[in-house]
Amino acid sequence: MTPTALEDAQKDSRPPAKLQTEEFRVGRPEVVGPEVPESPFPITLEGKVQRGFGRGGKDLGCPTANLPDESITPMSSVAKTGVYYGYAQVIQPDVPSGLRRADIKVLPMVMSMGWNPFYKNERLTAEIHIMHEFQSDFYGYEMKAIVLGYIRPELDYTSREALIDDIEFDKRVALNCLQRPAYQSYSKDPFFEKVELNGVL
């Protein structure tokens, strides 16, 4: 049985990741998983967005929101490392902010949970990329996410370009998967907050 991410994290050393190969990329499907989410999904996560390493947007063209270590336990305790998809929502703070109405909607997301082998991280992290163009950052804001499915294992890479290619493919797979009716319904799940129109542009 494949160990969960939490079980891996409790070991003395970071688990090795398989090296990404051209054969893996060529054989990747555009849609993954069953027509209806299956156990352990859906998995809900929430917490304040933390500052990460700053690599997602700068190095990879894929800005990510990092959740605090303690907020990823509901997922790391039941799921293995890898790339996942679902929905996320940045919660509008009580004070005025640079967020627009479009920024606080429930939006598609792709998430990496693991050690980012290409960058040799020493601790388990969960990094969520919300597929939306934000005009301002939202560090310190609350974020909620529902994880609905698994895309692929965590991999190591020989080049940044290969990693970027896979990230872009992951985004397409996530969007394709979320088009299925049983997955779309989670964008209206009561776990998320209703968007109030007052005071939001």
What is the reported pLDDT for 141? 92
Report residue 193: phi and psi, to 5°: -95, 145
Report residue 168: phi and psi, to 5°: -65, -40
Cross-strand pairs, 161:
none
- Spot the catalytic one: 38, 122, 127, 161: 127
Report residue 173: phi and psi, to 5°: -60, -45
What is the reported pLDDT for 38? 97
What is the reported pLDDT for 199? 46
Residues 6+ apart with CB under 8 A from 73: 6
Q: Could you confirm whether domain 5-29+37-188 is CATH 2.40.30.30? A: yes
What is the reported pLDDT for 111? 95
46 is catalytic: no
Show contacts of 17-22: CB within 8 Å, 24+ apart: 17/81, 17/114, 17/115, 17/117, 17/153, 17/154, 17/155, 17/156, 18/153, 18/155, 18/156, 19/155, 19/156, 19/157, 19/158, 20/155, 20/156, 20/157, 20/158, 20/162, 20/163, 20/166
Q: What is the distance, to the nearest Å, from the Cα of residue 123 to the centroid of all Cα atoms in its chain?
A: 16
Q: Cβ–Cβ contacts within 10 Å for residue 137, how many?
A: 13
pLDDT (tens digit, 0 to 9) for every residue of the chain, 201 residues total?
Answer: 677 877 766 765 555 656 555 566 667 899 999 999 999 999 999 999 987 655 544 555 678 888 988 899 999 999 998 999 999 999 987 766 788 889 999 999 999 988 865 555 557 888 999 999 988 888 889 999 999 999 998 887 777 788 888 889 999 999 999 999 999 999 999 999 987 554 444
